[in-house]
Structure 1
Amino acid sequence: MSLLGMFAFVFSCKDEDKLTVADTQDITEEAVTDSYYQDMDDMAGVSVSTPSDGQYSGGRTETTYTITVDDDRLDCAGVVITVTPAAGSTADVPKGVLTVDFGTTACADNKGNVRTGKLIFTYNGRRFQPGSTIVTTTDNYTINGVKLEGVRTLTNVSGSTSEAPKFNAVLSNGKATFIADGTVAERESNITWQWVRAANPLEDYLLIDQSSTASGKTRGGRTYAVSLSKALKYKRFCGIAVEGIKKYLIDGSKEVTIDYGDGNCDKSVVITVNGVTRSLTVN
């Protein structure tokens, strides 16, 4: 449910009918924070899919294994990834704890994102098995100077298939601390998304279910609630959604709606603030 891009503009004459600088900051902050938690989900899935059957079940003598994960976010020098199978873990139904320790010296990926601290993934079941779960917690984990906390529960939902896997991600007690100034944003979310695969992987897309919601408090102390009037569709390499309608309710009274269009990867959106509408292109 991310809106990746900065809206550097205001419009309309009345404050209640324009997108102010504060609104822009809050919407961008929400999108960035959401994308950081989604990044945790993706790393959880990639990491938990990596161990061999023997490592999942614990083998005959060892109970903790060190592994490597083929992902540029996780292959910095000094990053240590360990797998500790739980009692009763099997290759068919693996369960245990996988810990990614980025250390304290910072690990930068090929997009320039810098991570420190630990991500702790408690898994039960294989990634693409309906009913499987990964519960993510953090230990002093930061990305780009933002410390993330909370409990993130990722569940492969009923009806999911390997061709179109579907997941529900619930964030409880989410907290993002911006280390540079010590300000804090709070967040709760319940997001269901489906990865729709195509014959050509470049044509894969993600679909965010219309039932998905998020809420919280910004660093500036304003409350927000996010809902969808239409499911969001994300194509590879487009940066922002190409279809769908996302609605923000700020401080319980100011409504900002973002319409992402009809599926074209043109970065054009239509913004409506309390009934006043403008079209624009997101850079």
Structure 2
Amino acid sequence: MKSLNVVIVMLFMAVGLVLTSCDKEAVETNNNETVVNSDSDMESSFEDIDDLASTILEATESNSGGRIAGEADDRVCEGAITFSGDANSGTIVIDFGAGCEDSYGNVRKGKINIAYTGGRFQSGSVVTTTLDGYSINDIAIEGTRTLTNITESANDYPTFSISLTGCKITWPNDDVATRTVSKVRVWKRASSPINDEVWITGEASGVTRRGVAYNTTITDSLVYKASCRVSTRGRLALAGTKIIETENKIITVDYGDGNCDRRVSIVVDGKSENVNLD
């Protein structure tokens, strides 16, 4: 009888260890996905802001005297844009007011302030985007984004260095994430703007909304395409790889080979898993 009791106790202990191990693995997997999602969420949010600023700048340059004849993007409500300056330098304010809804159902609030010097495609030109009380779907985003044209030749694709400072993202539940960026953006223009691609390389660091500090290095250019928008808040990369390092993890993220979807592969400790980004 004692032997039977010992066997039963050992059986329960073994089951407990298995369950504990499974729970731990599930928690770690969830944490890995949270880190990847947080990094991608911040990346897509600022890609959306860059894309919007670029669209408005192009509309400004293409109109006589730098004036904007009409709204250039369905993310911007009527009368939201004010402009001061000319084609070579000036300021643009996009004021979403108390709320401006786009065709995807996103609601933007606050202001995006754009200051530029030099024509966008001139080497040395600078575009500085500063957010003032800006939010999308009540997710508040702060920071200053500076794009400097570093194109070396007229035969090259327009190339820009990117720096992001003072970045803070606050969710409605008061979760907070921070981020700094040092990257290079290559704009591969096509005959039709819908086929334009943006290739990003470089590094980022910050703290996720769960308080996890991380460093990100792009190991194979992240590719964004104008025609691919699978996330409501902004475009996600459809190709490329990056490595995200936390205190105790190295996470490799592979965006695939060009399919327009939210699916990525993450590899941690030699284990691979396919996940869908939020």
Task: Describe the SS at the equivalent of 2:209.
Answer: coil
Task: Describe the SS at the equivalent of 2:60.
Answer: coil
- Could you tell me how far 1:198 is from its partner in structure 2? 3.6
Contact 1:245 1:259 in 2 (8 A): yes
Please give the root-mean-square deviation of Cα atoms over the aligned residues, in Å: 2.9
Contact 2:113 2:130 in 1 (8 A): yes
| Greater helix fraction, Structure 1 or Structure 2 | 2
Task: Describe the SS at the equivalent of 1:21.
Answer: helix
For 2:174 and 2:23, how far apart are their aligned partners in 1? 33
Residues 192-238 of structure 1: CA deviation (Å, up to 9, x unaligned): 121223446554432222xx111101122110111122222334327
Task: Describe the SS at the equivalent of 2:54.
Answer: helix
Q: How does 1:40-189 map to 2 (within 5 A)?
A: 40-51=49-60, 55-56=65-66, 68-74=70-76, 76-77=77-78, 79-85=79-85, 91=87, 94-104=88-98, 106-159=99-152, 161=154, 164-178=157-171, 180-189=172-181
For 1:162 and 1:144, how far apart are their aligned partners in 2? 40
Cα distance 1:162–1:172, how it changes in 2: closer, same or farther (>3 A)?
Answer: farther
- Could you tell me how far 1:118 is from its partner in structure 2? 0.8
For 1:238 and 1:19, how far apart are their aligned partners in 2? 29
For 2:253 and 2:260, how far apart are their aligned partners in 1? 15
Matched residue type, 2:268: V
For 2:101 and 2:229, how far apart are their aligned partners in 1? 23
Contact 2:151 2:157 in 1 (8 A): no
Contact 1:163 1:197 in 2 (8 A): no
Q: How does 1:125-274 map to 2 (within 5 A)?
A: 125-159=118-152, 161=154, 164-178=157-171, 180-199=172-191, 203-209=195-201, 212-235=202-225, 236-237=227-228, 239=230, 240-250=236-246, 252-263=247-258, 269-274=264-269
Cα distance 1:177–1:266, how it changes in 2: closer, same or farther (>3 A)?
Answer: closer
For 1:201 and 1:120, how far apart are their aligned partners in 2? 24
Which ranges of structure 1 fall in alignment gaps of 5 or more residues? 1-11, 57-64
Q: How does 1:16-31 map to 2 (within 5 A)?
A: 19-31=28-40
Following TM superposition, the consecutive aligned residue runs of length 4 or more in structure 1 with deviations greater than 6 angstroms are none
- Could you tell me how far 1:138 is from its partner in structure 2? 1.7
Which residue is 2:14 aligned to? none
Matched residue type, 2:97: G
Residues 121-156 of structure 1: CA deviation (Å, up to 9, x unaligned): 011112222221111112111111111111110122
For 1:272 and 1:17, how far apart are their aligned partners in 2? 15
For 1:253 and 1:208, how far apart are their aligned partners in 2? 26
Task: Describe the SS at the equivalent of 1:49.
Answer: helix
Cα distance 1:35–1:270, how it changes in 2: closer, same or farther (>3 A)?
Answer: closer
In the alignment of these two chains, the number of paired residues is: 250
For 2:80 and 2:260, how far apart are their aligned partners in 1? 38
Which residue is 2:3 aligned to? none
Cα distance 1:67–1:274, how it changes in 2: closer, same or farther (>3 A)?
Answer: same
